[in-house]
Amino acid sequence: MAERPAWLDDAVFYEIYPQSFNDTDGDGIGNIRGITEKLPYIRELGCTAIWINPCFDSPFGDAGYDVSDYYRVAPRYGTNEDLSELFRQAHELGIHVLLDLVPGHTSWEHPWFRESMKAERNEFTDRYIWTDSVWEEPAGYGSLRGISDRDGSCAVNFFTHQPALNYGFYKPDRPWQQPMDSPGAVSTREAMKDVMRFWLSRGCDGFRVDMAGSLVKNDEDCKGTIALWQDIRAFLDEEYPQAAMVSEWGEPCQSLAGGFHMDFLLHFGPSHYNDLFRNEKPFFMGEGDASGFVSKYMDSYERSQRRGLICIPSGNHDMDRLARHIKGDRLRLAFAFLLSMPGAPYIYYGDEIGMNYVEGLTSVEGGYGRTGSRSPMQWDSSLNAGFSTAPADKLYIPLDPSPDRPTAEAQLKDTASLRSEVKRLIAVRQAHKALQSLGDIEFICDGAPGTPLAYIRSFEGEKILAVINPADASYELTLDRALSEVIYSFGGEPLLTESGCLIPGVSAAFFTLK
């Protein structure tokens, strides 16, 4: 693992979907200046860093994850100078900024791809993954074919309009599959380094990397992809050693070996993340089972040498809103968990006020079922909830039409609001290093049916027990060590007993240990 920037040790991130955060020019779409304007709100909450979803030029077939120019802020968001000013003002407030890097594919409108489609060879011919014949599709991938004079089919990574960049194949098994050290694969890697140089030199603090574990193909154990990122990390260590790198990978033992500082817990695959938040019986609604999550988490934790750098988000632009499945006071329990676990927590904009998933929306920019989680931030009770002065029918995504939709303004004034609880939890986390990113974790209860989640966080002699009980019934927790004082509680006062503690139903508590 690379040497970690010190600010990551106590980082609490706020994820911003720029289209929907704050519109300062009245066109119905959020912008960079809108983010800058709201930095004090983010800092007042207690967050110390932000992750901005893609803000580069794009035809926006996939909400900016289809980049057409890595070097230019999308005009609808503003200018490169606006982004540099955001970096500057964020740093003045002690906030670090990660940009979203999408290295696996581009838009089919990217100039690289337009050159790659040409029949005559040029420097971009091998920038993407092409077969030798239009009649052969790359097995296991979708493809583009019959679109140009060039013979061959081009692999795509997700939507049809997102051709896959070529970083080589770890185990080539077809003539057209280039090895990792081929000129085409190396040039792609170097081009992505140049993109990183460009933004780091302008004040960006690092990157959250989209699908970082998927770049090298035919790479079952990710050995090739790990080697690729080690090469990129070596470049960063030489030129930008303080650049923070957070991967969307889902296997921290692999991503940390590649040189990333932290890895996202994925909401798909084997993580059991959705057992907690998003299934028919989420754990935090009091009926579910968290034991599968704990087992997988601890397996990843041990295999990454107990470094505790697994980031757990409240949600993101690809998931249902937290409040679609977790209701009422149980949202506070979910945040008590999120803000007391190792790794840097990520709060998706609006989750701190309990924004709803907006049902029944027509897909916008490739959102489909995800569109309901991307509605405009609800700032106040004014026109368009304070998001924009544009006519309602010009908004990028419609607002939540609920008459009782939550707003940041109202919750800022209410000390009993969800946002106030999140702010309180962040403050408790920041006051105790054992609760921050690097603190060790030991589970006492794994949240199996009928039991709470209970775990001990420790760092340099400080030990804190966190207990989260979303069930209606109280639970008596037996411990082999003595509790000292309660440093946080919600949902009823816990009772200290001779052998441990009695935790009320629908409650959370943190204790220091003697």
Across the chain, which has 514 residues, the per-10-residue mean pLDDT values are: 84 98 98 98 98 98 98 98 98 98 98 98 98 94 94 96 98 97 98 98 98 96 97 97 95 93 86 92 95 94 84 95 96 98 97 98 97 98 98 96 97 98 98 96 96 97 97 94 93 90 96 93
> How high is the pLDDT of residue 148?
93
Residues 6+ apart with CB under 8 A from 27: 76, 388, 390, 394
> How high is the pLDDT of residue 305?
85
> How high is the pLDDT of residue 267?
81
> How high is the pLDDT of residue 441?
97
3-class SS at 466?
strand
Query: 380 and 422: one domain?
Result: yes
Q: Which of 356, 340, 360 is nearest to 348 (CA)?
A: 356
Query: 137 and 263: one domain?
Result: no
CB atoms within 10 A of CB 340: 28
Query: 86 and 113: one domain?
Result: no
The rounded distance, in Å, linking the Cα atoms of 304 and 300 is 6
Residue 148, CA distances (Å) to 115, 126, 128, 171, 464 in order: 11, 15, 14, 28, 62
CB 348 within 8 A of CB 311: no
> How high is the pLDDT of residue 2?
57
Residue type, 223: K
Query: 36 and 152: one domain?
Result: no
The rounded distance, in Å, linking the Cα atoms of 467 and 160 is 46
Residue 28, CA distances (Å) to 20, 39, 381, 383 in order: 9, 20, 17, 12
Which residues on neighbouring strands pair with residue 456, listed in sequence order?
442, 465
* CATH code of the domain covering residue 123: 3.90.400.10
Query: 86 and 131: one domain?
Result: no
The rounded distance, in Å, linking the Cα atoms of 507 and 513 is 19
Residues 6+ apart with CB under 8 A from 6: none
Q: 178 in a domain, yes or no? A: no
The rounded distance, in Å, linking the Cα atoms of 180 and 262 is 25
Query: 147 and 289: one domain?
Result: no
CB atoms within 10 A of CB 55: 26
**What is the pairing mode between strands 56-57 and 69-73?**
antiparallel
Give the residue from 403, 429, 455 where a domain finishes. Answer: 429
Q: 200 in a domain, yes or no? A: yes
Q: 353 in a domain, yes or no? A: yes
C-alpha atoms less than 13 angstroms from C-alpha of 19 in its C-beta half-sphere: 24
The rounded distance, in Å, linking the Cα atoms of 47 and 308 is 20
> How high is the pLDDT of residue 466?
98
The rounded distance, in Å, linking the Cα atoms of 413 and 404 is 16
Q: What is the DSSP string of 24-77?
A: SSSSSS--HHHHHHTHHHHHHHT--EEEEPP-EE---SSTTSS-SEEEEE-TTT
* CATH code of the domain covering residue 314: 3.20.20.80
Q: 402 in a domain, yes or no? A: yes
CB 265 within 8 A of CB 310: yes
Q: 17 in a domain, yes or no? A: yes
Query: 288 and 412: one domain?
Result: yes
Residue with tokens 């840097």: 344
Q: Which residues form the domain of 141?
A: 105-164
Number of domains in the chain: 3
Q: Which of 197, 203, 244, 193 is nearest to 82 (CA)?
A: 203
Residue type, 442: E
Query: 395 and 447: one domain?
Result: no
3-class SS at 474?
coil
Give the residue from 395, 429, 463 where a domain finishes. Answer: 429
Q: 211 in a domain, yes or no? A: yes
Query: 19 and 139: one domain?
Result: no
Query: 91 and 155: one domain?
Result: no
Query: 34 and 97: one domain?
Result: yes
Strands of 440-446's sheet in order across: 440-446, 453-459, 462-469, 507-513, 483-490
Q: Which of 484, 467, 486, 465 is nearest to 475 (CA)?
A: 467
**What is the pairing mode between strands 142-145 and 153-156?**
antiparallel
Secondary structure tally for the chain: helices H, strands E: 13, 20
Name the burial class of residue 94, with classes exposed (0-12), middle (13-18) and buried (19+) by CB atoms within 10 angstroms of its CB.
exposed
Q: 436 in a domain, yes or no? A: no
Residue with tokens 């194949």: 169
Where are the alpha helices (H) located in 171-222, listed in sequence order?
183-200
End-to-end CA distance of the chain: 33
Q: 500 in a domain, yes or no? A: yes
CB 65 within 8 A of CB 161: no
Query: 422 and 281: one domain?
Result: yes
